[in-house]
Structure 1
Amino acid sequence: MNLHEFKKKALENEEVRKEYDALQDEFSLIDQLLTMRGKAGLTQEEVAERLGTNKSNISRLERGRSNPSWSTLNKYAAACGFGIRLEAVEKDRAGA
């Protein structure tokens, strides 16, 4: 069974699907962080240097192992040559 088939099978389970859906925003943020850094052509070390922090802090941020402040996200984006904005989206009536 490959990863795609495994994911499809796992998401047939309602509990797994709920947990997966609940993590989508976090996965999206991580993807955006990695995309910014990749487009900027920077390493974690280079971003850390620009932020005056350690590579391990950047690694934790990019793995979703921290709870970054708005300021930290702004600084990370700026270090990569980007800006960020907050967007409020209304959830559907099902709570998804």
Structure 2
Amino acid sequence: MKTLNEMLENQMQDEKFRKEYEEMQPEFDVIRAIVDARTSQNLTQKELSERTGINQADISKLENGTRNPSVSLLKRLAEGMGMVLKIEFIPKQKV
């Protein structure tokens, strides 16, 4: 059975798939950052909801990629986890 990484590596050989995946990477990064930050604090979505006043269903939507957060919402999440929000622009890699 193939692992997820093996399957992704195989799919990345397809130019069209690779371009679409790379275009979505910022969204994936935001989702991963939210989930990683929350789990690093050993918080459930419900606990984070109680700390931030953001509906648990909305936190779930953020984490499953069906809702895009505003910077203001990201700041509220960070504050609720005792963190600060940091956004960076990174130079592109030259091919």
User: What is the TM-score normalised by the length of structure 1?
Assistant: 0.86
Please, what is the CA RMSD of the aligned residues?
Answer: 1.6
| Structure 2 unaligned regions, length at least 5 | none
Distance in 1 of aligned mates of 2:81 and 2:38? 6
Distance in 2 of aligned mates of 1:93 and 1:10? 22
Query: Percent of pairs identical after alignment?
Result: 37
Q: List 4+ stretches of structure 1 deviating above 4 A.
A: none
Distance in 2 of aligned mates of 1:35 and 1:4? 19
| Structure 1 unaligned regions, length at least 5 | none
Aligned length in residues:
94
**Aligned position for 1:89:** 90
Distance in 1 of aligned mates of 2:6 and 2:54? 40
Q: Any idea what SS the aligned residue of 1:23 has?
A: helix
Matches within 5 A, 1:1-96: 1-2=1-2, 3-91=4-92
Cα deviation code 1:14-64 (max 9, x no counterpart): 000001111111111111111110111100001111121321111001112
1:89 Cα shift?
2.5
1:93 Cα shift?
6.4
1:4 Cα shift?
2.8
User: What is the TM-score normalised by the length of structure 2?
Assistant: 0.86
What amino acid sits opposite 2:71 in the alignment? W
Tell which deviates more after alignment, 2-11 or 51-60.
2-11
